[in-house]
């Protein structure tokens, strides 16, 4: 089957979050199962190209026209990459915005990206299924079922739309419709209208043939008012076309037995290299070696409200009374960056932060930390807790979304379980789970057990890719039936 992925970021070219990991790993897993897969991305700054495949695609943008190019990004792991190349829109310092604020022309940027991606299918690479990801690609199904609805090439091509995070909508003022050349007829409760604004994500939810989320638990959660972010009613109306498929991980990249980015390789049979990695991690963050004897907590995250850092702010004084050390890597909202900087100043020998995203340092944290902390308010899937399992870095997580699906609470009596969880979204609950983990850490035999339990888990993409393959087939059959019915 020919499958085109449309996404706003993807490794090894560009990344701000877990979406990029998925866009690297899932296509490779599908290729391994015999599918023909291509990925289209915006060409951001410094992304290398092999050559220009189409010098100019005409994209209507309101009363104006734009002329992005389509560049060849080469092949990675058997996957063909295409880039929509428009330097004015995409050759910028960051992908979506700077200093915690979105670029004011994000609607135009990603509308052009959606239109160019569709034109690419017509002129260069016609797929049997298009798989779109998050709000930045949500106009693809909207356009296919409106502007392109009579296009014979595309009428039978279904769209699967994956919600990686329901909290990000792509919300714009009503006048964006005119600026993008979209019909006013879309501004209805059954279209893109959302409390007087235009909601790109809602368009994807309504116009795609099938919807997926990145864990089974999250597929349930987004149908509730607590986690639906105002779109739970829309999701419930499409519940018969909603599937939760847990993200996998690429163990060719995230595996301490083969990881070239860490100080020493190790395995469940021989964990001695983990201590070498811990020493290296302390050096990386300029923390004293005395912390080798302490449990070292690692954090790799966007610094956003979603990630539960308000709980850390509430409990930081009590937390740092414990005999532990913390290293954190991430960037995002100014208040959370400020909190980590202030804590690092307050506890310079036991807490350090790097405000950035650095893939090498992320690997070093996974390998060198003892505990990985993810206290998320909500977490559609989460990948770092799954990486942590393979690295013998024991997760402490809140029981939500994919965190709940992937982490089994450790039971001292039976020796079963892979980590520690808390349910209530409170600082007290967070501290309780961490203290339980610290108590087990003090017993080296028990700690070795929980580590090796986690390292034995297999969350590779194979099973998930098979589920996606079955869903693509369902979507194709459904779209063909719809196209035939509409032609009568």
CA atoms within 13 A on the CB side of 336: 24
**The CATH number of domain 272-457 is 3.40.50.2000:** yes
What does the alpha-carbon distance between residue 129 and residue 232 come to, in Å, rounded to a whole number? 26
Question: What's the pLDDT at 16?
Answer: 86
The whole-number pLDDT of residue 332 equals 86
- Could you read off the pLDDT of 308-336 as tens digits, one per residue? 999 999 999 999 999 999 999 998 888 99
pLDDT at 485 over 70: no
What confidence score (pLDDT) does residue 305 get? 87
121 pLDDT band, cuts 50/70/90, is very high
Model confidence at 87: pLDDT above 90: yes
Reply yes or no on whether the pLDDT at 486 is more than 70. no
- Average pLDDT (402-419) is 97
- Which tokens belong to 9? 């970021």
pLDDT at 483 over 70: no
Cα–Cα distance measured from residue 39 to residue 438, given in angstroms and rounded to the nearest whole number: 43
- pLDDT at position 487 is 61
**What number is the average pLDDT over the span 212-221?**
95
Res. 484: pLDDT tops 70: no
Domain boundaries, the chain: 2-248+462-487, 272-457
pLDDT at 488: 58
Q: What is the pLDDT of residues 148-197, one digit of tens each?
A: 989 989 989 999 999 999 999 999 999 999 999 999 999 999 999 999 99
Strands 371-374 vs 394-398: parallel, antiparallel or unpaired: parallel
Q: Is the pLDDT of residue 396 over 90?
A: yes
Q: Is residue 447 pLDDT above 80, yes or no?
A: yes
242-244 and 97-98 strand pairing: unpaired
Q: Has domain 2-248+462-487 been given CATH number 3.40.50.2000?
A: yes
Side-chain half-sphere exposure of 486, counting CA atoms within 13 A: 13
**Neighbour order of strands in the sheet with 394-398:** 351-355, 325-332, 296-303, 371-374, 394-398, 420-422
Angle (deg, nearest 10), helices 427-441 and 444-455? 110
Question: Each residue of 238-287: pLDDT tens digit?
Answer: 999 999 999 998 898 899 999 999 999 999 999 999 999 999 999 999 99
Which residue's structure tokens are 């052009």?
112
459 phi and psi angles, rounded to 5 deg = -115, 40
Do the two domains 2-248+462-487 and 272-457 of this chain adopt the same fold? Answer: yes
Burial of 384 (0-12, 13-18, 19+ CB in 10 A): buried
Residue 452: burial class (beta carbons within 10 Å; 0-12, 13-18, 19+):
middle
**Tell me, what's the pLDDT at 276?**
98
What is the secondary structure of 52-85 as a DSSP string?
A: EEES---EEETTEEE--EEEEEEEETTEEEEEEE
Asked which of 285-289, 357-361, 470-474 is least confident by mean pLDDT, the reply is 357-361
């Amino acid at each position: 089957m020919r499958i085109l992925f449309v996404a706003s970021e993807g490794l090894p070219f560009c990344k701000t979050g877990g979406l990029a990991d998925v866009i690297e790993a899932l296509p490779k897993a599908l290729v391994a199962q015999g599918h023909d897969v291509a990925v289209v991305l915006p060409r951001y700054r410094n992304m290398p190209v092999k050559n220009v495949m189409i010098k100019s695609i005409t994209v209507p943008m309101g009363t104006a026209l734009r002329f992005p190019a389509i560049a060849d990004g080469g092949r990675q792991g058997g996957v063909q990459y295409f880039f929509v190349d428009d330097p004015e829109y995409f050759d910028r310092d960051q992908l979506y915005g700077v200093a915690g604020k979105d670029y004011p022309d994000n609607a135009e940027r990603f509308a052009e990206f959606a239109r160019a991606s569709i034109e690419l299918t017509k002129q260069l690479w016609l797929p049997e299924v298009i798989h779109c990801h998050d709000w930045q690609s949500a106009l693809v199904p909207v356009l296919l079922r409106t502007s392109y609805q009579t296009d014979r090439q595309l009428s039978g091509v279904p769209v699967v739309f994956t919600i990686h995070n329901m909290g990000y909508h792509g919300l714009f003022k009503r006048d964006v419709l005119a600026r993008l050349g979209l019909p006013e007829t879309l501004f209805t409760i059954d279209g893109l209208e959302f409390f007087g604004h235009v909601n790109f994500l809602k368009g994807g939810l309504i116009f795609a043939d099938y919807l997926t989320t990145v864990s089974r638990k999250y597929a349930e959660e987004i149908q509730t008012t607590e986690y639906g972010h105002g779109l739970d009613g829309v999701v419930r109306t499409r519940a018969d076309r909603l599937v939760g498929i847990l993200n996998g991980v690429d163990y060719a990249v995230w595996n301490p037995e083969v990881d070239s980015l860490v100080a020493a390789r190790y395995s469940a049979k021989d964990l001695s290299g983990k201590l070498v990695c811990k020493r290296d991690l302390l050096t990386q963050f300029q923390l004293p070696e005395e912390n080798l004897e302490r449990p070292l907590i690692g954090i790799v995250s966007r610094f956003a409200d979603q990630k539960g850092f308000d709980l850390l702010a509430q409990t930081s004084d009590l937390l740092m009374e414990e005999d532990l050390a913390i290293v954190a890597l991430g960037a995002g909202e100014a208040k959370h960056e400020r909190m980590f900087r202030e804590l690092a100043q307050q506890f310079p020998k036991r807490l350090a932060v790097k405000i950035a995203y650095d893939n090498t340092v992320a690997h070093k944290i996974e390998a060198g930390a003892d505990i990985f902390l993810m206290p998320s308010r909500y977490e559609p899937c989460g990948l770092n807790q799954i990486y942590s399992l393979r690295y013998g870095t024991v997760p402490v997580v809140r029981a939500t979304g994919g965190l709940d699906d992937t982490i089994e609470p450790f039971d001292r009596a039976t020796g079963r379980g892979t980590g520690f969880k808390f349910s209530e979204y409170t600082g007290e609950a967070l501290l309780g789970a961490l203290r339980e983990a610290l108590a087990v850490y003090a017993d080296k035999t028990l700690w070795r057990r929980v580590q090796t339990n986690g390292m034995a888990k297999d969350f590779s993409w194979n099973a998930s890719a098979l589920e996606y393959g079955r869903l693509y087939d369902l979507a194709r059959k459904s779209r063909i039936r719809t196209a035939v019915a509409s032609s009568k």
